[in-house]
């Protein structure tokens, strides 16, 4: 089995243009990243697969896109101004800062002192609370009244729109509001590549239910979200659901479970599913003076309870890359392959003219390219030996490659090569689009499962 390390993932992402360290020509900005071509494509796929299962395939869901900077009162009401904090400790020995509740994950411990070969224990200060929200100023005047925050989660934008969706559009619980968008957290110790960054794209859904049904829907959403990963081919053995203990839960939560993935850094939260009760709608009703509740036709009213699955594209991106990364030796040559689900793979198929100097092969290949790119993201590759081109596509996870060769010119067939099995078969050129459509509909399982 391949030993998957974060370093290998980072290096492949950089080498193949998925992800770059941001502001690199200026020395970078710690734990901030820019996405290159294949990274953008893969992120778009993850987002649209989430949206598809959350919104497109359901009757009970609507979409929302709320602002990043909200009225600061939102964050007073939600409890973020007072309590969205992590405990911060400074080390007097190594002069670094750590999260007091994540010391075991950090490099804190015995570190070299200034004298070579000498080790001194870390000497930590008392923990103090550090608010993770980024502050900014709105407008030209800088005073207390202009202070605002970059949102640390997208959820509050959903709660404050409850009335618009539920009351004006007469959506009746149970129903959900889904949104994706950037969130910002001034993390004390970002790191592990994209796992913990200060700017990330969240995908959150708030599901509003009658209070008596909350537990049932909480369990339902844990199962739904776990199945989403399994359907996308993430290995079952690498996923687990961990229920938070009462002490670990946020004050508003009556149940929280993490869907965890066994990252190279160990089992960590991939996605959280929380039963938030009526905390948020009640808080916003009290602070805003606008009642956020559901009124039945007969006049009875209640504040719905909320179930929230919340995840970032970044964590899914890393988990899926780790799950897909594989090294092997084929015909005495090293092969690195991303065995991604075809729906997640940045490029669905490569079109390769065997002899790029042959005009007829090129003409046939470009015609096929034009046909396929109407429906899918496909790539034309004519650079170098065919074996090298296959390897290049393997490394970015392209599930199929269609090769146009001498035989194509004689009998109008092409070779299709499968990324996982390496099997090759011949197809009629005119049937390639239908073949690919069919292949993309087939369930896919990781060869490592």
Provide the sign of the torsion angle of the four alpha carbons 9, 13, 19, 23, taken in this order. Answer: positive
- Choose, by CB under 6 A, the member of 16, 80, 315, 341 that binds ligand ATP: 315
Question: How many residues bind ligand ATP, per CB under 6 A?
Answer: 15
Sheet with strand 128-131: strands edge to edge? 97-99, 85-90, 128-131
User: Is residue 187 a contact point for ligand ATP (CB under 6 A)?
Assistant: yes
User: Is residue 196 a contact point for ligand ATP (CB under 6 A)?
Assistant: yes
CB of 109 to ligand ATP, least distance (A): 21
Of 81-110, binders to ligand ATP (CB under 6 A) are: none
User: Is residue 205 a contact point for ligand ATP (CB under 6 A)?
Assistant: no
Q: Which listed range, 51-59, 192-200, 238-246, 328-336, lies at the site for ligand ATP (CB under 6 A)?
A: 192-200
What is d(CA 56, CA 62) in angstroms, rounded to the nearest whole number? 9
Are 176 and 304 in contact by the 8 Å Cβ rule? The answer is no
What is d(CA 346, CA 100) in angstroms, rounded to the nearest whole number? 38
Q: What track of x and - describes contact with ligand ATP for positions 393 through 432 (by CB under 6 A)?
A: ----------------------------------------
CB of 322 to ligand ATP, least distance (A): 14
CB of 310 to ligand ATP, least distance (A): 4
**DSSP track, 10-29:** HHHHHHTTSEEETTGGGT--
- Give whichever of 29 and 437 is closer to ligand ATP, judged by the CB atom: 29
Of 132-161, binders to ligand ATP (CB under 6 A) are: 153
Beta strands in 288-443 (DSSP E): 294-295, 301-302, 305-312, 325-330, 333-338, 349-353, 378-380, 400-404, 413-418, 424-428
Closest CA to 201 of 312, 317, 310: 312
- Choose, by CB under 6 A, the member of 54, 209, 310, 432 that binds ligand ATP: 310
CB of 320 to ligand ATP, least distance (A): 13
- Choose, by CB under 6 A, the member of 19, 91, 160, 197 that binds ligand ATP: 197
Phi, psi of 267, rounded to the nearest 5 degrees? -70, 125
Instruction: Characterize the bridge pairing of strands 378-380 and 349-353.
Output: parallel
Residue 67: partners with Cβ closer than 8 Å, 6 or more residues away: 157
What is d(CA 53, CA 297) in angstroms, rounded to the nearest whole number? 31
- Give whichever of 32 and 445 is closer to ligand ATP, judged by the CB atom: 32
CB of 280 to ligand ATP, least distance (A): 13
- Give whichever of 315 and 348 is closer to ligand ATP, judged by the CB atom: 315
| Torsion angle in degrees (nearest 10) through CA of 267, 268, 274, 279 | 140
Of 156-185, binders to ligand ATP (CB under 6 A) are: 185
- Choose, by CB under 6 A, the member of 42, 311, 322, 354 that binds ligand ATP: 311
CB of 99 to ligand ATP, least distance (A): 9
CB of 271 to ligand ATP, least distance (A): 5
User: Is residue 323 a contact point for ligand ATP (CB under 6 A)?
Assistant: no
Which DSSP letter does residue 226 get?
H
User: Is residue 276 a contact point for ligand ATP (CB under 6 A)?
Assistant: no
The CA distances from residue 227 to 170, 208, 233, 403, in Å, are: 30, 21, 10, 35
CB of 102 to ligand ATP, least distance (A): 8
Q: Which listed range, 278-286, 291-299, 304-312, 374-382, lies at the site for ligand ATP (CB under 6 A)?
A: 304-312
User: Is residue 226 a contact point for ligand ATP (CB under 6 A)?
Assistant: no
Q: What angle do CA 197, 200, 206 make, to 5 degrees?
A: 130
- Type and span of the H or E element at 366: helix 359-372
What is d(CA 192, CA 263) in angstroms, rounded to the nearest whole number? 10
- Give whichever of 63 and 132 is closer to ligand ATP, judged by the CB atom: 132
End-to-end Cα, the chain, rounded Å: 12
Closest CA to 233 of 398, 313, 345: 345
Q: In this chain, which residue has its C-beta nearest to ligand ATP?
A: 312
Residue 54: partners with Cβ closer than 8 Å, 6 or more residues away: 61, 176, 178, 203, 205
Q: Which listed range, 122-130, 193-201, 299-307, 419-427, lies at the site for ligand ATP (CB under 6 A)?
A: 193-201
- Give whichever of 153 and 206 is closer to ligand ATP, judged by the CB atom: 153
CB of 149 to ligand ATP, least distance (A): 15
What is d(CA 416, CA 429) in angstroms, rounded to the nearest whole number? 10
- Give whichever of 248 and 411 is closer to ligand ATP, judged by the CB atom: 248
Q: What track of x and - describes contact with ligand ATP for positions 339 through 368 (by CB under 6 A)?
A: ------------------------------
**Chain residues that interact with ligand ATP, rule: CB under 6 A:** 153, 185, 187, 196-197, 200, 202, 269, 271-272, 310-312, 314-315
């Amino acid at each position: 089995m391949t030993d998957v390390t974060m370093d290998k993932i980072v290096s492949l992402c950089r080498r193949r243009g998925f992800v770059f360290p941001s502001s690199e020509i200026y020395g970078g900005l710690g734990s901030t990243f820019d996405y290159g071509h294949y990274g953008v494509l893969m992120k778009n796929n993850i987002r649209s697969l989430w949206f598809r299962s959350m919104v497109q395939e359901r009757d009970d869901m609507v979409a929302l896109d709320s602002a990043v900077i909200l009225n600061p009162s939102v964050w007073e009401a939600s409890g973020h101004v007072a309590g969205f904090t992590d405990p911060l400790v400074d080390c007097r020995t190594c002069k670094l800062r750590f999260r007091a509740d994540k010391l075991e994950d950090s490099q804190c411990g015995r570190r070299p002192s200034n004298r070579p070969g000498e080790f001194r224990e870390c000497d930590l200060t008392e923990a103090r609370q550090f608010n993770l929200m980024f502050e900014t100023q709105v407008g030209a005047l800088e005073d207390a009244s202009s202070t605002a925050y970059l949102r640390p989660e997208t959820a509050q934008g959903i709660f404050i729109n409850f009335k618009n969706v539920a009351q004006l559009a007469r959506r009746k619980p149970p129903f959900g509001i889904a949104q994706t968008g950037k969130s910002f957290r001034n993390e004390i110790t970002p790191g592990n590549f994209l796992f913990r960054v200060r700017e990330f794209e969240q995908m959150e859904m708030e599901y509003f239910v009658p209070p008596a049904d909350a537990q049932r829907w909480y369990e339902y959403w844990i199962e739904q979200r776990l199945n989403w990963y399994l359907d996308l081919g993430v290995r079952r053995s690498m996923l687990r659901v961990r229920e938070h203990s009462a002490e670990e839960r946020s004050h508003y939560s009556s149940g929280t479970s993490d869907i965890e993935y066994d990252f190279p850094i160990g089992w960590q939260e991939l996605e959280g599913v929380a039963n938030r009760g009526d905390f948020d709608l009640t808080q916003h009703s009290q602070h805003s003076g606008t009642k956020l509740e559901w009124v039945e036709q007969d006049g009875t009213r209640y504040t719905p309870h909320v179930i929230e699955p919340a995840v970032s594209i970044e964590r899914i991106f890393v988990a899926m890359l780790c799950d897909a990364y594989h090294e092997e030796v084929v015909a005495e040559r090293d092969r690195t392959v991303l065995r991604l689900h075809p729906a997640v793979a940045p490029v669905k198929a490569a079109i390769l003219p065997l002899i790029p100097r042959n005009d007829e092969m090129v003409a046939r290949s470009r015609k096929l390219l034009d046909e396929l790119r109407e429906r899918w993201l496909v790539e034309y590759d004519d650079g170098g030996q065919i074996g090298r081109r296959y390897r290049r596509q393997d490394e970015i996870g392209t599930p199929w490659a269609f090769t146009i060769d001498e035989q194509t010119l004689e009998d109008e067939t092409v070779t299709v090569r499968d990324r996982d099995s390496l099997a090759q078969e011949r197809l009629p050129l005119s049937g390639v689009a239908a073949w690919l459509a069919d292949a993309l509909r087939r369930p896919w399982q990781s060869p490592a499962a």
